[in-house]
Each structure stands twice: as C-alpha cells, then as structure tokens.
Amino acid sequence: MINDTIEIEDNGFKAKLTTYIVDNTIDQEKTRPLVLVCPGGGYIGTASKEGEPIALKMNSFGLHACVLNYSCAPAQFPTSLNQLAKSVKLVRESAKKWHVDPEKIVVLGFSAGGHLAASLGTFWNKDFVLRELKVNQEEIKPNALVLSYPVITSGEFAHQDSFKNLLGDRVKDCNWRELLSLEKQVDETMPKSFVWHTFEDQAVPVENSLLLVNAMRKAKVAFSFHVFEKGHHGLALGTMETGEVVTEIQPWIRLAAEWILKNI
C-alpha cells in the first residue's frame, strides 16, 4: 500500500491528503477507481471516524482511497472547495503512478463533508471556481459522488452551524446562502450519485437528501438513494470501530462500493 500524506494549500490554509493506494500484486497494469473521502464535522473540524476507517473499508472492496482533512473555520468558503478540487486534480495527475483509472474518481462525503463533496459536484464546471484555480474543468471533475447523511440545504431544514462556520460573517447574506443551498444548484452536469440518510437523523434531517435527489431527478441526473429507518446522525460505518453499533445501516458501504464498481 502507498500510504503518504500530502499538503494541499489554499488561501494560506493547509489541508492534508492521506493516500491508501492498494498494491497491484497480481496484475501490475491493473487500474482501479479511487474514492476520495471528506469526513464530516460541521465545517469546524473533521471527524476521524469518517476518515481512515472508511478508506480501509473501501480498500477491502478493491478500491483505492484517499482521505482529505480539509481546512475548517476560521477558513471559509471557498477554501475547502478549492482544496478538494486541487486534490481531485492531484489524483488525476498521479493516476499512472498510483494505478488509478482517471475517469473513475469518486468523492465521498459525510455530513458537512457531504456538502463539500456535493459542492464540487455542482460547481466543478463553474467559472468562479475555474478562474480562481486556473484549471481546466475536466481536471477537477468528480466522476461520481457518494453522499452520506449530507448537509445540503441552507433553508428550512438547514444544519445552521455548518453554514455559520463555512460563511462566517456572510452567513446572513441571502445571496451566499442561496449559492450554497445545493439543491438549488443542481443541473444536468452534476455527476451520478449514491446518497444515503437515516429517517431518525435530527441533526441533519433527511429532507436534506430528499431535496437533493428531487432536484437531481428533475435534472435527469442518475442516483441510487437509500433511507434507513433507524439511526441518528454521524454513524459512519455503524460498527464498534466507528462508535455506536447500528446494524441496520451497516450495508451502506458495501452497497456504495458495489454501485461504484458497477456504474462508474
């Protein structure tokens, strides 16, 4: 395994990208999809339980992985988005060295990390991102998204602290809140997505995912959507390894990995 840590800098803030690249022990030329994991944490920090355990689990399904510990408050939008875009670009540039299929780069995000992943999914081809980063849109395009109990909307069902941490003093500006209410930014260029949530989530209500997939449906963007009845917010794998054991949600990562291998 290639297990390295790489600094990704933007606006004076440094993120850490940790690689979990599977060895090719049989077929030296084999390429694999790569899952780039963005842990949650309300844009105030990144939760370790939604980082390495997820990457290692993806490895067990034969997928490469990376974990991005992106910059949070006091860093504000678009710092974390830029760091994620730069990370996707780095993975694509390293595709030959790491035996990654450059057309199979998947961004997986939890909670606020799901908002970050979905932000790249909706903004990867927008001028304000491309101008600031001075990149071609194909360099930073995610080929698919996996969104785990994501923060999506800044409206009625918003996780308000995430938007306060992401926007700082701009949080009261309707234009900024509108821009980052991602169900309003979906168009036909958004990547296909695997989305899951729990019905019992009180911190980030399931309406966040419902609003997103409804917008994706209207835009004719393909998705696989799963709502588990039981389970509170932030369960990660739902195993002892990541905290509370909730057996009902445990299948999600196998379903997501199978979806990636079949559809991307």
Domain at 255, CATH number:
3.40.50.1820
Residues of the chain falling short of pLDDT 70: none
Sign of CA dihedral 260, 141, 214, 247: positive
Q: How many domains does the chain have?
A: 1
Which pLDDT score, from 0 to 100, does residue 29 have? 84
- What's the pTM? 0.98
Domain carrying residue 29: 5-263
Span 63-117, pLDDT tens digits: 999 999 999 999 999 999 999 999 999 999 999 999 999 999 999 999 999 999 9
- pLDDT attached to residue 22: 96
Looking at residue 28, its pLDDT comes to 80
User: CA gyration radius for the chain?
Assistant: 17
Q: What is the pLDDT of residue 80?
A: 99
